[in-house]
Structure 1
Amino acid sequence: MANFQYYTAEALDKLKAELHHLKIQGRSDMAKQIAEARDKGDLSENAEYDAAKDAQGLLELKISKMETVVANARVLDESTIDVTKVSIYSIVKIKNTKTGMEVTYTIVSEEEADLRAGKISVSSPFGKGLLGKHVGEKAEIQAPAGTMEFEIMSLTR
């Protein structure tokens, strides 16, 4: 069964562009590296050739994974989303009920997650714990440090 991930149209276009770049430019660059290494002599004792072939394998693995992601990607129809509760692409401000610390996160797909940019994955413990909550509700989230309780302060799109 396919594991669908939802993206905005822009995010999906970015993924497709990256995949296209890897297929065209990445493969071309890899072929040049292998050809240069091959020109250096005996392949049985050529560490540079072995490294280039290994890098080629990693590139092909990355391309394969990205093809699967793009094949299972769906564009999110934002008009069908209930904006009164936390869902994918919601911008949610939460407050730790114990420490009073407030932080704002955007709930995104796994591939777009970037904690430094304030984007957390919908499938992360925090993302799962916040999904479906309304402003004013409390969410208990299982973190490595134990159970943490957060209050939903605000919710935007």
Structure 2
Amino acid sequence: MHLFAEAVVVETIPITRQGYEKLNQELSRLKAVERPANIRAIEEARAHGDLSENAEFHAAKEKQGFIEGRINDLEHKLASANIIDPSTLTKDRAVFGCTIRLESIDTGDEVEYQLVGPDESNIDNGLISVTSPLGKAILGKVPGDEVVLQAPGGKRSYELIEIR
């Protein structure tokens, strides 16, 4: 009889210090403010009597499930976080944390993005995930390289103009 030990692989998630702190602040707020307020809401609703027709009780219990799920999610993300300081990384290639400027080959329009982890991405703020299709297409490129993205509306081509 052979016994095999299963290796547990924990995938790390790249994140900037700012992104880590933002997730940590949300976790603290959920634990210190949201969870206790929800517990009080459940207790108050429970005091109103018949729980089978108590909409406030059911809403508070539903919110409790959301809060606990988000706490678990944040704890997992923070435990798996690999905090990367972009200032220590190379600037000759597009890598996590760098800011890049792209020019559309079709229109000449320019856009600027910082490559961040999936939990920090916010396209409206110029933050794209390294795991997104565009982020993956940019990684490893150098200024002058063409970046090709297969988008739902068709192929888009950009030139990488600058890395900071």
Amino acid at match of 1:136: G
Cα RMSD (Å): 1.4
**Structure with greater Cα Rg:** 2
The CA distance in 2 between the partners of 1:11 and 1:73, in whole Å, is 10
What CA deviation, in whole Å up to 9, does each residue of 1:65-99 have, x standing for no partner?
A: 11110010012144652211111111110011011
The partner residue of 2:139 within 131, 140, 143 is 131
1:141 shift after superposition: 1.0
- Please name the residue that 1:107 is paired with: 115
Structure 1 segment 21-36 matched on structure 2, within 5 A: 21-36=29-44
How many residues align? The count is 156
Contact 2:38–2:60 at 8 Å: present in 1 too? Answer: yes
Q: List runs of 5+ in structure 1 lacking aligned partners.
A: none
- Please name the residue that 2:71 is paired with: 63
Percent identity between the two aligned chains: 37
Normalized against structure 2, the TM-score is what? 0.89
Structure 1 segment 82-101 matched on structure 2, within 5 A: 82-101=90-109
After superposing the two structures, state which structure 1 stretch, 123-132 or 20-29, moved more.
20-29
2:56 is paired with a residue whose SS is helix
1:15 shift after superposition: 1.7
Amino acid at match of 1:135: P
Amino acid at match of 1:11: G
The partner residue of 2:152 within 108, 125, 144 is 144
Q: List runs of 5+ in structure 2 lacking aligned partners.
A: 1-8
2:131 is paired with a residue whose SS is coil
After superposing the two structures, state which structure 1 stretch, 17-26 or 107-116, moved more.
17-26
